Amino acid sequence: MVNLYPPLLLPFIITKSLNGRCFSSSSLLLNSATLKQNKKSSEDYLADPNKLIIIPIRKERSYIYYKHSEELLNKDSKILKFENYTLTKGATLWRKIKDSPNIINRRIVDFVDFFLNQISWTETSLRSIPGERYILKGLRKMDKKTGMHNTTAEYVKDITSNDKKSPMLPISVYYPNDQLTSKEVVRQAERLANEGLRYHFKYMWYCIIGIPLTFPLILIPIIPNVPGFYLTYRAYCNLKAYLGAKHLKAIIHDHNHVQSSARLEFQCFPAYSRLFKRGNTDNMRLDTDLKDKIINFLDIKEIDQDLTNVIKQESRIREKVTHK
């Protein structure tokens, strides 16, 4: 029987993630003095290695995607290394179950996939935001006028310098300013973070408590312990979403470590705004055609399936409201 439980060291990861100091603190004082607008081209956007992308879904709700270069991940983190190892092992095991000719295994896989497709899109949004200890923060060089870097290599070089007097580079926020204001972006991000902190912390522990209850299934040699595997995976997902919410909350509200330059920079991106219909009053802003335009223009094909699930979930919500 294949061992399904290397992820059961998850409580250790949780303890280290929740109690450990962040690799680099990021704070933000959001007021009129810190919201800076810059007009950006597509080339500027693509060259930016660290950014938040705001995709309006419907009124008062947006999908927030944290896109960053892989070079900005804190590869010295032992937790990150262990996480990658565990995910690789888990993915290999799940592929074996999915490829199994056993009819029972196939039905179980279909059953699990059904539940995974019901997961709220807000969770996938939060999971895209790395925990603070996992991501490196850029430094603004004091001897440069702009403080920006043309390449990721220059960005990483400044990160690893020991110049502690250099203030941090702000995180760029790209959003369609014809559809949203910067204040609305902040309000929606705050709501997403607050809801995520409450929900995912609770359900993470529900999943962890439920894992030992599946141990008796290990004694059944015919089928793998899929419920245990599922609960372990869901505990991990809830942890990732919680850490993403915690990081997003820190970006917005951590006034205890405010630095004058540690702020969000709201970028004016006209080409992105033009993808949306002007004066669009439809509560459902994202559809399949617009989704395809966004992922191609912003080069975010990695979240194509996530945005497809967003559209399906929002369509179901609208249907329920219509039939009431």
Domain annotation covers residue 293: no
30: which 2 tokens? 């959001």
pLDDT-above-70 percentage for the chain: 70
- Determine the 3-state secondary structure of 268 from DSSP: strand
| Each residue's pLDDT tens digit, 19-33 | 433 333 333 334 433
How many C-beta atoms lie closer than 10 Å to residue 312's C-beta? Answer: 12
The alpha carbons of the chain give a radius of gyration, in whole angstroms, of: 21
Return the pLDDT at 165. 46
Cβ-contact 28, 131 below 8 angstroms: no
Give the pLDDT confidence score for residue 294 in this predicted structure.
95
Is 289 among the domain residues? no
Q: For residues 139 and 59, give the distance between their C-alpha atoms in angstroms, rounded to a whole number.
A: 35
207, 239 contact by CB (below 8 A): no
pLDDT value, residue 253 = 66
196 vs 203: CA distance, rounded Å = 10
Joined tokens for residue 25: 């603190």
Please state the domain count of the chain: 1
Tell whether the torsion through CA atoms of 31, 181, 250 and 146 is positive or negative: negative
In a domain, 314, yes or no: no
Look at residue 322 and tell me if it is in a domain. Answer: no
Judge whether 309 lies within some domain: no
Give the bridge partners for 272, in sequence order.
none
State which amino acid sits at residue 218.
I
Distance of alpha carbon 15 from alpha carbon 38, whole angstroms? 40
Q: Is residue 319 part of a domain?
A: no
- pLDDT means per 10 residues, the chain with 324 residues, are 44 47 34 52 88 91 91 72 79 80 80 85 94 69 47 55 57 90 91 95 95 85 77 92 93 54 77 80 76 95 93 86 70
CA 129 vs CA 52, 145, 217, 261, 323: distances in Å: 9, 30, 35, 21, 35
CA atoms in the 13 A half-sphere facing the CB of 125 = 26
Q: Is the dihedral of CA 293, 297, 302, 307 positive or negative?
A: negative
In tens, the pLDDT along 165-221 reads 455 677 889 999 888 898 899 999 999 999 999 999 999 999 999 999 998 887 777
3-state secondary structure of 77: coil
Q: How far does CA 101 lie from the centroid of its chain?
A: 35
Sheet holding 36-39, edge to edge: 36-39, 264-268, 171-175, 50-58, 61-68
Identify the pLDDT of residue 150: 46
| Residue 82 confidence (pLDDT) | 77
Q: Does residue 167 fall inside a structural domain?
A: yes
pLDDT at 207: 94
CA–CA separation, 288 and 308 (whole Å): 7
117 lies in a domain? yes
- Rounded to whole angstroms, the Cα distance separating 30 from 32 reads 7
Would you state the pLDDT for residue 158?
58
62 - beta bridge partners?
Answer: 56
Residue 258: the pLDDT is 53
Domain range for 106 is 6-273
